[in-house]
Structure 1
Amino acid sequence: MYKLLLAASLSCAVIAGVLLAMGNGPAAGPALFLFFALLALAVRGFAAFRGFAYTLWIFAAVTISMFYPQYFIQVGDFQLKKLIVPLLQLIMFGMGTAMSLGDFAAVIKTPRYVIIGVLCQFTIMPTLGFALANAFAFPPEIAAGVVLIGCAPSGLASNVMSYLAKANLALSITITALATLMSPFVTPVLMQLLGGQYVQVDVWTMMWDIIKMVIIPIVAGLVFNRLARGKAKWLDEAMPLVSMVGIAFIITIITAAGRGSLLTIGPALIAAAFLHNTGGYLLGYWSARLLRMDERSCRTVALEVGMQNGGLASAIALQMGKVATVGLAPAVFGPLMNVTGSALATWWGNHPPPDTEPEARRPEEGRRETGGGVPVQRAVPDTPIP
């Protein structure tokens, strides 16, 4: 069946290509959508490519929003962009339910690797984003979006990729959690320093916005986890799916809102996002190596630095009132990092460090899977942080 789906998807790609070559772009939309959707179903039958299914679904959604943006901007009198912040808050609440105060014990016991990871996170990506925004000479608000995605903390996707890469999963979870909790105070200051020349940045307003979107939902999730531990297993099963659908919907809304700008600067923005993302992997890895971290932890830092919380950056852009411009870079960066992150994690997973112990290779404690077979790690450290 999967081979038939693959053949059907390739047929749709050919049809879309012919229609585009004939100058009949609008008619190519459904064929392109079917290509990505059928390919997303087809890759589930191939273990080496199964991890790309979610990203292909995002591409399918983005395709529809590019060809039919009117359906993703407004329904009646209700503007769909108003859903971005509630969706992010729901995702952050889910992150909180998967955490406990014990997850931060490693910061106190063995802080060196955690501090290195967080410092790399909040120095490499903001600086690289600023450099790329200037190098590509983007319009001011587009450039501000490139800087913004660099100033955001790492996202939950980095934890999944660390698991697949046989990296230091406990370190990944701790860096993500700490960077996320620091973001209300660090991200606005970095945006003022590096992005203030492109757009007006109100540090205190942005700080409060991030607290509302991140800290309050995470704290609520922590409290819920504390009070309902073991009593809401359905929530553990549902939240990964809710998070994936939420992120896909956020990207779709932003793509529709910024369609005009994407058609003008899309290729350049994709190139900048690719360099930003892969540059984060490269600089994160070698910074960790220079600081004499072990191989598994170097891989973790690379993934934490290169993979950002695009949902948070998109919500910040919305709160700034510039989701159609500042929000474009996060919308492009998100799907792209899933492609590169999956590829890098798969390659590393097939080349485990020589000192990797069997239990570190397959951390089972707290492990659960989404419907697509992608492991989502509950925030319980199960490998040591040096």
Structure 2
Amino acid sequence: MVALSCLMYTGYQMSIGHLAEVGPVFVAGMVLLSIAFRGFAPVKGLAFTVFILGVTVTSLYYPGLFLEINGFELATLITPLIQLIMFGTGCSMGVKDFIALSKSPKSVIVGVIAQYTVMPVMSFVLANVLGFPSEIAAGLILLGCASTSVTASLFSFLAKANVALAITITSITTLMAPLLIPFLMKLFAGGYIEIDVLGMLWSMMKMVLLPIGAGLLFNKLTSGKAKWLQDAMPYVSMVGIILINAIIIASGRESILTIGLRLLVAVLLLLISGFIFGYWIGRLLGLDEKDCRTIAITTGMQNAGMVSGIAKVMGKVGTLGLASAICGPLMGLPASMLASYWGSSAQEKTPDEP
């Protein structure tokens, strides 16, 4: 009730033009709402998304909190945070993550190809149609060229889809990202900004492949016994994603206030197009319903954190990283709705139904 009261008060104040004065109330309302969602099963999956939205609002109202502390630029933390998240990904990976490759290779191949064709093309189309400034447009295309989000397996589970397939597609697209993203960016974004293919390739090797390799090696040396680390890494990743989003939003605040709504619409359309095309490509190629749903989710969900890291390495976090910063808090909304719909429809079917 307190959260709803805060948000209702915020809405009223905004309606009469008092946008600047309601910042603290708005932030408090979002944080309290995320806490409330944690205790309510039907919307528990949205709690993290709502909390990210709360932090996003905070970074818009108080950007100074996320730009520097005692002269230390917080943007410096973005690359190490991405490397830490990738290390955690490597620690949790093993032969089991590629089990779907042997059981349903066609579905894996379709999912990987869909990820690196549908999303880059759609992001290029949206960037051109909506006419963004060059670096903002390139950032949207970079988001479209990214690998599958590491949270795709969670939403596949909620959707009663093929979790093993989601894990395999996520693992393969992540490992392929350093090799494919530089060339896709040269192809689709070369007209917007200068792309150093080899430089980006090396940067992504250091940011993605080396930490994943270190994680795999750690997992091998400990024989998978460091369960405490595997349990802790999802929480570390969530904190890292929240901080990365806040830093980028704060860095690009002026650009967001100028073109934020247009970019939000573009990112939302990109995500939805991924869900739609991913699903129907699977259907047209004769995959079963669970695999089609899985490919829809893996195609539509982008690794926004990786994109943020690339933007930081390129020195354009306040422009090139804006699409990914918006994607971070936004992506969970359509994904949760889709997963909830598919999950509930699967429960309604009887055992005799297909």
* 5+ residue gaps, structure 2: none
1:118 maps to what in 2? Answer: 112
Contact 1:117/1:175 (8 A) holds in 2? yes
Question: Once the 2 structures are TM-superposed, how far is the Cα of residue 101 of structure 1 from its aligned partner?
Answer: 3.2
- Structure 1 stretches of at least 4 aligned residues deviating more than 3 Å after TM superposition: 21-24, 353-358
The count of residues paired between Structure 1 and Structure 2 equals 352
1:371 maps to what in 2? Answer: none
> Residue 189 of structure 1: which of 183, 187, 199 is its match?
183
**Which string of whole-angstrom CA distances, capped at 9 and with x for unpartnered residues, describes residues 85-125 of structure 1?**
11111111111111113433543564221111100000000
Q: Is residue 146 of structure 2 the alignment partner of residue 152 of structure 1?
A: yes
Q: What's the TM-score, normalizing by structure 1?
A: 0.88
Q: Which has the higher helix share?
A: 2
The residue identity in structure 2 corresponding to 1:166 is K
RMSD (CA atoms): 1.7
User: Pairwise mapping of residues 1-386 of structure 1 onto structure 2 (< 5 A)?
Assistant: 7-107=1-101, 110-352=104-346
Question: Once the 2 structures are TM-superposed, how far is the Cα of residue 224 of structure 1 from its aligned partner?
Answer: 1.0
Question: Once the 2 structures are TM-superposed, how far is the Cα of residue 16 of structure 1 from its aligned partner?
Answer: 1.8
Distance 1:259 1:349 in 2: 37
1:379 maps to what in 2? Answer: none
Distance 1:26 1:354 in 2: 47
Distance 2:351 2:169 in 1: 22
Question: Once the 2 structures are TM-superposed, how far is the Cα of residue 267 of structure 1 from its aligned partner?
Answer: 0.6
**Which string of whole-angstrom CA distances, capped at 9 and with x for unpartnered residues, describes residues 229-285 of structure 1?**
353221122111101111011000000000000000011011111110001000110
Contact 2:99/2:168 (8 A) holds in 1? no
Distance 1:228 1:57 in 2: 34
Question: Once the 2 structures are TM-superposed, how far is the Cα of residue 71 of structure 1 from its aligned partner?
Answer: 1.3
Distance 1:37 1:275 in 2: 27
Distance 2:135 2:61 in 1: 24
Distance 1:10 1:355 in 2: 35
* 5+ residue gaps, structure 1: 1-6, 359-386
| Bigger Cα displacement from structure 2, 208-217 vs 228-237 | 228-237
- Identity among equivalent positions (%) equals 48
Q: What's the TM-score, normalizing by structure 2?
A: 0.96
**Which string of whole-angstrom CA distances, capped at 9 and with x for unpartnered residues, describes residues 305-349 of structure 1?**
000000000111111111100100011112111111111111111
